[in-house]
Amino acid sequence: QVQLVESGGGLVQAGGSLRLSCAASGTSENIFSTYDLSWYWQAPGKQRELVASISSSGQANYADSARGRFIISRDDAKTTVYLQMNGLQPEDTAVYYCKMEARDWQGVVRFHFWGQGTQVTVSS
């Protein structure tokens, strides 16, 4: 049974930094290393949107608003994905969710798992 648990959220002043972690249980390093991993954010009344993703090969992509400020990384040995957030601004306030996806060779998602989310609040 796979479970994703996010941590590291909290209250931070504008310009500050936070490091989010998402730890996967119920899987192994070898299996986890094949998954595509991503972070999403969702503000109240807004759609959940992609913040950053990192493929099984280590290729990272970012939303325009996150690029240059946020860094996604993975540690397959720890079955964990991280999101380092720098230069936080009030508009970054949201619940942040991690997602794990398994894709076939054509890129079709075969299954996915979501974490429960962690709140990030940035004060002005």
Residue 74 reports pLDDT greater than 90: yes
- Residue 52's alpha-carbon distances to 14, 27, 62, 99, 111, in angstroms, are 20, 22, 4, 10, 19
Mean residue pLDDT of the chain comes to 96
Residue 29 reports pLDDT greater than 90: yes
Q: What pLDDT score was predicted for residue 103?
A: 86
Residue 46 reports pLDDT greater than 90: yes
pLDDT in tens, 76-116: 999 999 999 999 999 999 999 999 999 888 989 999 999 99
Q: What pLDDT score was predicted for residue 120?
A: 98
pLDDT in tens, 55-71: 999 999 999 999 999 99
Confidence of residue 28 (pLDDT cuts 50, 70, 90): very high
Q: What pLDDT score was predicted for residue 112?
A: 93
Burial class of residue 123, CB neighbours in 10 A (0-12, 13-18, 19+) = exposed
